[in-house]
Structure 1
Amino acid sequence: MKNLSNIKTKNQGFTLIELVVVIVILGILAATAAPKFIDLTGDAKASVMEGALGSIESAVSMVHAKSLVQGKATGNNTVIINSLYYAVANGYPRAANLGTGAGDTAANAIGILGLIDIDSSASGDFVVTDATPALIQHRSATTAANCQISYPDSTGSGVRPDITITTSGC
């Protein structure tokens, strides 16, 4: 008869320590490999453009309110904000900067780009085209024309500028 104490049982499976070590190694590999497969920079650039659009919308609303208060809601005029002159068309900020903002002349007034604080320096996020329409593009976009904000002048009395944003190429 066989003695029960002489029977050796085989353990099958892994120990808890082995399982933990494998999970830790897989976690480290996933953390280093995931950024190569998931690129979120386009989403981040699109979010930056949405933030800039929010700044523009706020500036447009404030200048329009100021132009209504000053009785300059029709035609090409200037409004005074913090002792600087801003060019308005039909009560809304003009697209292009026309000057430095010193002196009450439409030819020397600041447009929408002078109202918003965006960094268009060589190290900044944006490339700005000071024209009509004003274009604000993300400097490191995949396709600049598909990652931009376009700000035109107002087309008539009481007509808010049709600001468009494109983020498909950010």
Structure 2
Amino acid sequence: MQKNQQKNKNKGFTLIELIIVIVILGILAVVAAPRFINVSSDAKIAALKGMGGAITSASQLVYAKAIVQGVDNLATGFVDLDGDGVTDIETRFGYPSGSRENGVSKVMDSSFITEWTWSTNFARTRFYLTTAAIGGRSNVYVNFTHISPTNCYLIYDRATSLGASPSIEYVTSGC
């Protein structure tokens, strides 16, 4: 009979054991939560840098086409990307221009239109880009004032002289 009573006593946890487990889980949550929150910021920055890499690669391909077509040394030129005889993209010294209609936005794939929000400055020398989720719009050209407050965007500066290549700058303080 004592063996049966002893077996019944060992079932379950005491209140103190449960409280200790809850406290340990709380401490882990406080320590781990900021790291998980930071993952969102890191993902936004990675998306921008990934797009920056894609733009750089596309710009290099356009430049190669510009060399073949003999327009790599022109301050303003046009490149036929698909060989159909129709100019597809505006270039500056062989690289895509900052134009929102005919420049760098034309070298991106079809998902670019729905997943990104873009703008240019008035001189169309700079192209601003953020994700549609951050910018609040997709498939829409917006004024820079809609992108700049996000503090999470990239800037494409077109080539400004012969021999110079475009540059990409990242603003990530708000990501």
TM-score (norm 1): 0.66
Secondary structure at 2:130 match in 1:
strand
Report matched runs for 1:22-61 at 5 Å: 36-38=33-35, 39-40=37-38, 41-61=40-60
Counterpart in the other structure of 1:9: none
SS at match of 2:166: coil
TM superposition shift of 1:137: 2.1
The answer on whether the counterparts of 1:144 and 1:169 sit within 8 Å (CA) in structure 2 is no
Q: Give the distance between the partners of 1:25 and 1:114, measured in 2 at CA.
A: 55
Larger mean Cα displacement after TM superposition, 70-79 or 82-91: 82-91
Q: How does 1:17-96 map to 2 (within 5 A)?
A: 36-38=33-35, 39-40=37-38, 41-75=40-74, 76-82=76-82, 83=84, 85-96=88-99
SS at match of 2:46: helix
Cα-Cα RMSD: 3.1
Instruction: Please tell me the residue identity of whatever aligns with 1:135.
Output: Y
Equivalent in the alignment of 2:118: 128
* Cα distance in structure 2, aligned partners of 1:152 and 1:91: 14
The gaps in structure 2 that reach 5 residues or longer are 1-9, 136-145
Structure of larger gyration radius: 1
Structure number having the greater helix percentage: 2
Letter paired with 2:55: I
Counterparts in 2 of 1:81 and 1:119: CA distance versus 1, 3 Å: closer
Aligned to 2:172: 167
1:116 positional shift: 1.5
Structure 2 Cα separation of the partners of residues 151 and 68 of structure 1: 21
| Counterpart position of 2:104 | 112
Where does structure 1 lack aligned partners over 5 or more consecutive residues? 1-14, 99-109
TM-score for both structures, normalised by structure 2 = 0.64
Q: Per-residue displacement from partner, 1:52-71 (whole Å, max 9, x unpaired)?
A: 10111111111111111111
Aligned letter for 2:94? G
| CA pair 144-26 structure 1, distance change in 2 beyond 3 A | farther
Query: How far apart are 1:119 and its partner, in Å?
Result: 3.8
Question: How far does residue 112 in structure 1 lie from its aligned partner after superposition?
Answer: 0.4
Among the aligned pairs, what percent are the same residue? 24
Runs of 4+ off more than 4 Å: 21-36
Instruction: Give the Cα separation in 2 of the matches to 1:144 and 1:89.
Output: 24
**Do 2:97 and 2:159's aligned partners in 1 also have CA atoms closer than 8 Å?**
yes
SS in 1 for 2:134: coil
